[in-house]
Amino acid sequence: MEPMNSVAIAICRSLRKTPLLLLFFLPAGLSAQLGVQLQYRLPLSLAESSMLSDPLIQSGWSAGVVYSLRRSGIRIEWVPGLHYMQTTAQSTASVDYTGSGVQATVDFRAYPLDMYGDCKCPTFSRKGQVIKKGFFVEGGAGGYYLSQKTGDGSQGGGNFLARIGAGLDIGLSRRLTITPGVRIQYENSLHAWGGSGTEKQSRPLWVYPYLQIMTYFDY
């Protein structure tokens, strides 16, 4: 029950810390779509650790469901989602550690080059003018619980995150979009790897390029 309690605590903290400013932008008439999202990310450190033995986050992937909320006539979206995630780290001794868990996020997206070009069709449908229609800026907040196997069992913990970024939606078809992007992400605490107090992800601020595949469903 302890991991589930940690998940609940992390999600509650993230919701409490979600920028209240976004609430003022929620329009009265919203349309919504349910979607499936797959994402691969390759984190790169922005803040170097003073402990040279710390493992480095190498890569990770996530898969989950999202619920896209938007208003017709303006290209601004709110995208809450729930994801399964897996992350890999490698120590300076070439020891690999793998962690897995769940993540809940709420992202905000805006398309500044085509803000009023809404076609009243699924937001992932892109035809022509890729940069104009597909470029977006984003921000978001959330929480996750990450656990890993150790020699004595498993260990894990919850974390709050906040991020900003930008990306480009490229419509492969009416139902499928591929999105390359980059994010800067802040986390409020460190994650220990390998069951050792000296082996930590000492990089609470990091940037990662990502590649995302998204499809939505009408209902």
Can you give the CATH number for the domain in which 139 is found?
A: 2.40.160.20
Domain assignment present for 190: yes
Average pLDDT of span 215-219: 73
Residues in contact with 21: Cβ distance below 8 Å, sequence separation at least 6, in sequence order: none
Per-residue confidence (pLDDT) for residue 17, from 0 to 100: 46
How large a percentage of the chain has pLDDT more than 90?
29
Domain assignment present for 217: no
Domain assignment present for 218: no
Count of Cβ atoms closer than 10 Å to residue 192 Cβ: 18
State the chain's mean pLDDT as an integer: 75
81, 54 Cβ separation under 8 angstroms: no
Residue 12: which domain range?
A: 2-212
The strand pairing partners of 215, in sequence order, are 36
Which tens digit of pLDDT belongs to each residue from 96-151? 778 899 999 999 999 999 888 765 554 445 556 788 888 999 999 999 998 887 66
Domain assignment present for 62: yes
Domain assignment present for 68: yes
Domain assignment present for 141: yes
| pTM: predicted TM-score of the whole model, two decimal places | 0.76
Domain assignment present for 160: yes
Q: 19: pLDDT confidence band, cut at 50, 70 and 90?
A: very low
6: left (phi over 0), alpha (psi -120 to 50) or beta: alpha
In whole angstroms, give the CA distance from residue 109 to residue 119: 17
Residue 164 has pLDDT above 90, yes or no: yes
Q: 210: pLDDT confidence band, cut at 50, 70 and 90?
A: very high
How large a percentage of the chain has pLDDT more than 70?
63
What is the number of domains present in the chain? 1
182, 209 Cβ separation under 8 angstroms: yes
The strand pairing partners of 154, in sequence order, are 149
Which tens digit of pLDDT belongs to each residue from 61-76? 999 999 888 877 788 8
In whole angstroms, give the CA distance from residue 168 to residue 113: 11
Q: 31: pLDDT confidence band, cut at 50, 70 and 90?
A: confident
